[in-house]
Amino acid sequence: MHGVYRGTRRAPPAVRTVADLRAGALLAEGEIVRVPLLVLAIVTACHVPSPERAPVAGRCAFNRIGEVTVTGAPRDAVPQLVVLEGTVDDPERTARTAEAATAALRTAGHAQARIAIARRAGCRVDLDVAVALGPRYRIASIAFESEDEFPAAERLAAIEDALGTVNTVGGVYVEYRLTRALADLERRYRDAGWLDARLGAPHATYDLDGTVAIAIPVAAGRRFRIASVKAVGASPFARAAVLQTLGLRAGDYFDGPSIRTAIERARHKLARWVELRTSVAGDRPEIELEAIVEARR
């Protein structure tokens, strides 16, 4: 949530007035939007029947959206709005749909995309959709701000999304998906022994050349090793068998997936319930493992 547009923070709201678009030079002066009002502001106008558009019955039981005209982008850039043709006119719903369409454009890399909708209301309501796409940003670099030893390629692969089109160098930046991927990556850091790892919110810097640089702060902390592996409960013979089957050794880095696999292997191979208790060994970056072995019933 720290996107910076070279001096201005964050992208503007999704749906803007036509005046805003002109002020931001995103809509040319010559471009015509017939009713330059905010969508939400025009709620009641739709109930005024337009003589030339009124249905044959002569009364409007309800209003339907007639034509959706798109300017500034191809029609298929805003399918969410085009599909409104023929549906019931509901200005609030149209505004929400416009926000969803804007979000979709931003997900496709148009980080400054804006949509303005003007309505020509009668029994049939036509929508004029003015789209200002803005530049399509591509990720130029992704930097993890850390000196830790977590494999760099694995880290980048963990955040790459959508078959290599999102959150990867050359792809588009989608903040919420990166945030979700970083939460998963933080878990993997901990699984790999960095038990105190914290991954901060990504920082995006947009450049005028249509690129975006992503920086991800990482506070990895110390990497923990296994201090000792002990077994308690059941018979000495059973404890020895469990320790041998676990195959965990003091001195190795703490590795969550390996430990879980070892526990499952011991449970199945020895047909005993085995539970593992972990505790941090004092102020050292070490973990003590204690296998609790159930006596056979």
Partner 1 sequence: MIGRTCGQIVAAAAIAMIACARPSYLGAQLPHPCLAHDIEGCLGWMVERDLSEAELDLYADGGLRDYVQGVAERLAAVSSLAHAPRIVIADRDGTYATSGSRIVLGRLTIERLGSEAELAGVVAHELAHIEGHHAVVSLFGPPPDDDWLVLRRDAEAIADERAVALLERAGYAPGAMARALRAVLDTEDDEHPLRADRIARVAVMARDRRGYEGRAELLAHLERMVVGRDPRLGRRVGDAWVVAALGLALDLGDGDVVREADHVLVVRRAQNTIAAYAIGLPWGREIAGALDDRAADDRGLGRVTFGTVARPSERDTTPLGKLAHAVRNSLPQPPVGTRVAILERARGALVIELGGRAVPDLGLREATADELAAAEPTRIVIERAWRAGPIAQALVCEGRLLDDPERRVAAGDPVKCADRQPGSRELSLAAASARTP
Name the residues that contact partner 1, by CB under 8 A.
Answer: 61-62, 64, 75-76, 79-80, 82-88, 93, 96-97, 100, 104, 154, 157-158, 160-165, 168, 176-177, 180, 257, 260-261, 264-265, 267-269, 271
The least CB distance from residue 88 to partner 1, in Å, is 5
Bridge partners, 114 (sequence order): 132
In this structure, what DSSP letter does residue 15 have?
B
- Burial letters for 197-230: b for 16+ Cβ neighbours within 10 Å, e otherwise? bebeebbbbbeeeebbebebebebeebbbbbebe
Which one, 82 or 140, has the nearer CB to partner 1? 82
Taking the complex as a whole, how short is the minimal distance between the CB of residue 126 and partner 1, in angstroms? 14
C-beta of 53 vs 96, nearer to partner 1: 96
C-alpha 99/C-alpha 115 separation (Å) is 8
Q: Closer to partner 1 at the Cβ: 13 or 257?
A: 257
Give whichever of 35 and 82 is closer to partner 1, judged by the CB atom.
82
| CB 176 to partner 1: min, Å | 5
Nearer to partner 1, 160 or 286 (CB): 160
Radius of gyration of the chain, Cα coordinates, nearest whole angstrom: 29
**Which DSSP category does 269 fall into?**
H
Instruction: Evaluate whether 53 touches 66 at the Cβ level (below 8 Å).
Output: yes
CB of 160 to partner 1, least distance (A): 5
- The answer to whether 166 touches 172, Cβ cutoff 8 Å, is yes
- The nearest distance, CB 268 to partner 1, in angstroms, is 5
Minimum gap (Å) between residue 22 Cβ and partner 1: 28
3-state secondary structure of 94: helix
Nearer Cβ to partner 1, position 104 or 140? 104
- Least distance CB 147 / partner 1 (angstroms): 22
Query: What's the rounded Cα separation, in Å, for the pair 106 and 256?
Result: 37
Which is nearer to partner 1, 255 or 288 (by Cβ)? 255
Non-local CB neighbours of 177 within 8 Å, separated by 6+ positions = 161, 162, 166, 167
Residue 141 contacts residue 67 (beta carbons within 8 Å): no
Is residue 118 within 8 Å of residue 130, measured between CB atoms? yes
